[in-house]
Structure 1
Amino acid sequence: MMETLQVLRGSLLLLLLVAGVCIEGYKPVIIVHGLFSGPEEYHTLIDNIKKAHPGTEVNAISLYNYAESTVPLKEQVKGFTKVLTDIMNKNPDGIHLLCYSQGGEICRGLLSTIPNHNVDTFIALSSPLAGQYGATKFLKWLVPKKWVYLICNTVGSKISICDYWKDPHHMTDYLKNNQYLTLLDGEKPNKDMEAWRNNFLRLKKLVLIGGPDDEVITPWQSSHFGFYDSNERIVEMRNQEFYKKDKFGLKTMDDRGDVSVCVRAGVRHLKWHSDQAVFNSCIEKWLT
């Protein structure tokens, strides 16, 4: 009789555990769009997530869309903070951030400045994380890239791209005038840097996705925190000063095994969020 009761109790416990897993489901996925973009362009990505993980709540935030995406990133971070904080409060078990292109820079700002955030995984999808020097599809017809730093030095942080434009031939001007990426990277004095670093390290996983045929993110290795030196030779992530000095926690995350790098060839910039192979190999497994 006692053995029968123990078996019944064990079976009941197993059923409750299974039920708990089914009820809990997958963490919500929040998508932050890129420059000159909006949530309407992410239907394929949303469908892929829901097909792979049925029942997942997916929210492509509708904020600073299209032309408004050129608003300075500090202002955008403030706006996204209000929306994201509300979502996090409703999901105490955590969420995932999937941020495309310029959205990756916005998400870096969010993860650094929101205290006690509960973001589990940050997926940066073809984002200029270490800066941008050249946007062939958007700028070459308008102004040569070697002049963009002059414009950014003049207008300051009044246009979003200036917040992460990084001319390797004019680093003194960049370090002096940039008021966004330099702060996130800890390259200039910032009284909040320790708090920002602790906030960033609340992440459980950082996923970096990019590839050599992007044609917009320049250099494409910026999507993996690599960038040019003054001779336009690539300095990989682990040789960057902000990594070696562990300014914002990237080295700590890497040392604990929580940085994943995914390289995909043959993917153009505007196709990353709709490419099935990219989703299958670089994204799906992290959204649990």
Structure 2
Amino acid sequence: MAPLWLLVLGVAAGAAAQDPTPVVIWHGMGDSCCLPTSMGMIKRTVEDNVPGVYVRSLMIGPNIIDDTLNGFFRPVDSQIEEVCQKLAADEKLQGGYNAMGFSQGGQFLRAVAQRCPSPPMKNLITFGGQHQGVFGLPHCLGTTGVCEIVREMLDLGAYNSYVQSHLVQAQYWHDPTKRDEYLEVSQFLADINNEREVKNETYKENLKKLENLVLVMFGSDTMVVPRESSHFGFYAAGQDKTVVPLEQTKLYTDDYLGLKELDEDGRLAMLVADGDHLQFSITWLVENVINVYLK
């Protein structure tokens, strides 16, 4: 019979092996890490349905006010760099984590997966993400003053160098009628989508390390223009009427992000939730996401 201390160690090791995979959350425009009616509710829902799970809701900056404003005015690359550092320093995430990104937090977390593979991201679920960018901003989720500044800056032109450097939403603005200008000026989206002539092979290799990439589009989304951007669909070149689905885009056919390979491996899921932008029930979230990808 094994000594008691060996039995105790075995039980402890078995318990540790059963610890649920931690979850990282990144909020969207006009939101913050910790509002009880938004990310706070998501955090509680995950914790309630995955007992013992560690959930980290990302704060960008030192406090909630900065966190909210940074979603409008801090360059995306700087935000991603901060998040990569925070995740690397979090001891609870070193064995890997699942990620949930809401609205613009979706494509930002995808950038984390592509640029910072350590600690490893296992499953990435994005809700209403603007993966192919937006060509229009019909709604601004922020205070009246902030939204007026956003509108004034976009009126100057999303590809104006000052606007690109100072407005987050301009950094994923995608004008299908100005392809060359977009590729030249876009500080974030054109890079993270690997669209320029010189490809970053590590982006593809790192994204392919995901166990699953889950893309949630909202069927009546009036904020993401076009809504199919949440599934990597976008307008055909040179116009803003006809939307091309992911499978017909060069992003997929040339596969310079690894999306086709993920799809063929059964690791790319495209879900549709009824309702407008980020409008879903807790029941839907639990049944379609938490029970399937976080447990």
Q: TM-score, normalised by structure 1?
A: 0.84
* SS in structure 1 of the partner of residue 99 of structure 2: strand
Counterpart of 1:44 in structure 2 is 41
* Residue matched to 2:209: 202
Note if contact 1:34-1:102 (Cα within 8 Å) is conserved in structure 2: yes
Instruction: Measure how far apart 1:200 and its partner are.
Output: 1.5
Higher mean Cα deviation, 90-99 or 206-215? 90-99
Equivalent residue, structure 2, for 1:102 = 104
1:18-46 CA distance string (max 9 Å, x none):
98267522100000111121012312211
**Which has the higher Rg, Structure 1 or Structure 2?**
1
AA matched with 1:123: I
Percent same amino acid at aligned positions?
A: 25
SS in 2 for 1:20: helix
1:195-274 to structure 2, matched below 5 A, reads: 195-229=202-236, 230-266=239-275, 268-272=276-280
| 1:169 to 2:192 alignment | no
Pairing 1:116-127 to 2, within 5 Å after superposition: 116-127=118-129
CA displacement, residues 135-181 of structure 1 (integer Å, 9 cap, x when unaligned): 21129x85999x94852211223211111111222222212211211
**Aligned with residue 58 of structure 2, among 61, 75, 87:** 61
Bigger shift: residues 89-98 or 257-266: 89-98
Q: Residue in 2 aligned with 1:81?
A: 84
- Helix, strand or coil at the partner of 1:59: strand
Q: CA RMSD in A?
A: 2.8
| Residue of structure 2 in register with 1:10 after alignment | none
Deviations 1:226-250 (A, max 9, x none): 1112242111111111111111111
Instruction: Answer yes or no: is the 8 Å Cα contact 2:204–2:256 preserved in 1.
Output: yes
Q: Distance in 2 between matches of 1:114 and 1:78?
A: 9
SS at match of 1:62: coil
Gap change, CA 1:202 and 1:227, over 3 Å in 2: same
CA deviation profile, 1:202-233 (whole Å, cap 9, x unmatched): 11110111212222111111111111122421
Counterparts in 2 of 1:223 and 1:278: CA distance versus 1, 3 Å: farther
Structure 2: runs of 5+ lacking an equivalent: 2-6, 62-66, 142-146
Q: Is the 8 A contact 1:200 1:249 kept in 2?
A: yes
Q: Could you say what secondary structure the match of 2:89 adopts?
A: helix
Cα distance in structure 2, aligned partners of 1:204 and 1:226: 22
CA distance in 2, matches of 1:149, 1:114: 34
Match of 1:261, SS state, is strand
Structure 1, unaligned runs of 5 or more: 6-12
Counterpart in 1 of 2:139?
A: 137
Q: Is the aligned partner of 1:27 residue 2:21?
A: yes
Is the CA contact 1:132–1:217 (under 8 Å) kept in the aligned structure 2? Answer: yes
Shift of 1:122: 0.5
Give 2:75's aligned amino acid.
P
Matched residue SS, 1:112: helix
Q: Distance in 1 between matches of 2:149 and 2:40?
A: 33
SS, match of residue 121 in structure 1: strand
